[in-house]
Amino acid sequence: MLTAIIVAAGDSRRMGFDKLFATIAGRPVIAHTIQAFERADCVGDIIVVARKDRLDAIKPVVHGGSFKKIRSIIPGGTHR
């Protein structure tokens, strides 16, 4: 089994808004991303890396989506 690391810690400067929370079909982009890894048979665990100042916003999306493979949500660094 593989561990998927979703790096969602960018500033979204070019977009002008936080693209993780842009909605597609009524759900935020980050939820669609997590769902894709949830469906992958080869992925056993998912770790989400988010901006430190967005952790409180991302946790309800991650925990409210009934995702079973999420192991942790951790803060990203200040540089790539």
41-63: pLDDT as tens digits: 999 999 999 989 889 999 998 88
**CATH top class, domain 2-75:** alpha beta
Give the domain ranges of the chain.
2-75
Instruction: Give the model's pLDDT for residue 78.
Output: 72
Instruction: Give the model's pLDDT for residue 79.
Output: 67
Given 3-state DSSP classes, what are the helix, strand and coil percentages for the chain, each rounded to the nearest 5?
A: 30, 30, 35
The segments of the chain whose pLDDT lies below 70 read 11, 79-80
Q: pTM score, two decimals?
A: 0.86
Tokens of 50: 């988010």
Q: Integer distance in angstroms from the first to the last C-alpha of the chain?
A: 26
Instruction: Give the model's pLDDT for residue 32.
Output: 95
The region that residue 26 occupies, defined by phi over 0 for left and psi between -120 and 50 for alpha, beta otherwise, is left
Instruction: Give the model's pLDDT for residue 63.
Output: 85
